[in-house]
């Protein structure tokens, strides 16, 4: 499977961001990408007044998703990208949409919200209580995660248990002391402990680090972007995955299963 990860700096204007997504999708299609992973929450980005995402959120049949889906109608590329979607409690969902052949084929609403490092995503975003999502792309199963989800290895393991050989990880990774190191270490860790590929798209711009990565099942970075707009490419060869799982049989050697139950926030004891 040919993977492209794309990044750009989102603005407060959804039409500008749609244009950037359309440009990257067209470039990915020209390059023969089976899968294009774009950043998290790019419908609109507000570095201040982040509550405004409540005002500009769009439903999944709104113009942003509809127009981007239409652009895939005559393409062989499956596009994964994040938007904000209204919920019924006044907040929004942080939702990944999967678009192919002109259609919305799947969605994943973010489970783990970024209430850390002084941020409080849950002030404006509603955490989902839905199970993880796996889709098939070019004969390969792809698991969906969003940004802060990468800090929770049990989610990546659940997706791997569901057959994922690639994890698609759209993100808007906020700058901060050691944060870029955290990003790189955890992407490599999720790849290594599950012997899978990780295609991680990081939004660039004044608040976020960019640094989109494609990492292989033995933790090697196969492609990387710095801070500008563009695409990075890699071939996720199933033979490489099979060889890694033979050489490093961590999935076969493990002794514990992960409970797929989604628990309410605050109900797990510290250390659980």
Instruction: List all residues 6 or more positions away from 238 whose beta carbon is below 8 Å from its beta carbon.
Output: 1, 140, 165
Given 40, 121, 165, 203, the catalytic residue: 40
Backbone torsion region of residue 178, taken as left when φ is above 0, otherwise alpha when ψ lies between -120 and 50, otherwise beta? left
CB 104 within 8 A of CB 98: yes
Residue in this structure with the two tokens 């998703």, named with its chain if needed:
65
CB 168 within 8 A of CB 1: no
Given 21, 85, 110, 165, the catalytic residue: 110
Q: Does 147 qualify as catalytic in the annotation?
A: yes
Calpha distance 223→205 (Å, rounded):
20
DSSP state letter for 147:
G
CB 52 within 8 A of CB 45: no
Calpha distance 57→126 (Å, rounded):
13
Q: Does 110 qualify as catalytic in the annotation?
A: yes
Given 21, 85, 121, 147, the catalytic residue: 147
Helix (H, G, I), strand (E, B) or coil at 42: coil
Residue in this structure with the two tokens 């999944």, named with its chain if needed:
60
Phi, psi of 6 (to 5 degrees): -125, 155
Active site residues: 40, 110, 147
């Amino acid at each position: 499977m040919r993977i492209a990860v794309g990044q750009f700096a989102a603005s407060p204007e959804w039409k500008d961001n749609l244009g950037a997504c359309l440009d990257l999708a067209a470039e990915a299609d020209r390059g023969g990408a089976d899968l294009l992973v774009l950043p998290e929450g790019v419908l609109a980005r507000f570095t201040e007044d982040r509550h405004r995402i409540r005002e500009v959120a769009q439903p999944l049949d709104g113009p942003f998703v509809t127009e981007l889906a239409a652009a895939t109608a005559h393409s062989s590329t499956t596009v994964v990208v994040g938007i904000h979607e209204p919920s019924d409690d006044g907040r929004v969902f942080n939702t990944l949409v999967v678009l192919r052949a002109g259609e919305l084929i799947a969605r994943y609403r973010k489970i783990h919200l970024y209430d850390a490092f002084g941020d409080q995503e849950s002030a404006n975003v509603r955490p989902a209580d839905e199970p993880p999502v796996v889709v098939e792309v070019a004969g390969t199963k792809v698991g969906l995660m969003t940004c802060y989800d990468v800090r929770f290895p049990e989610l990546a393991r659940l997706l791997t248990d569901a057959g994922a050989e690639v994890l698609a990880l759209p993100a808007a990774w906020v700058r901060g002391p050691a944060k870029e190191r955290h990003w790189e270490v955890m992407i490599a860790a999720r790849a290594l402990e599950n012997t899978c590929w990780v295609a991680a798209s990081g939004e660039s711009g004044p608040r976020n680090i960019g640094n989109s990565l494609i990492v292989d099942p033995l933790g090697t970075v196969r492609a990387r972007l710095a801070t500008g707009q563009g695409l990075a490419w890699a071939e996720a060869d199933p033979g490489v995955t099979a060889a890694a799982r033979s050489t490093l049989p961590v999935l076969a050697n493990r002794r514990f299963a992960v409970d797929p139950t989604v628990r309410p926030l605050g109900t797990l004891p510290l250390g659980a």
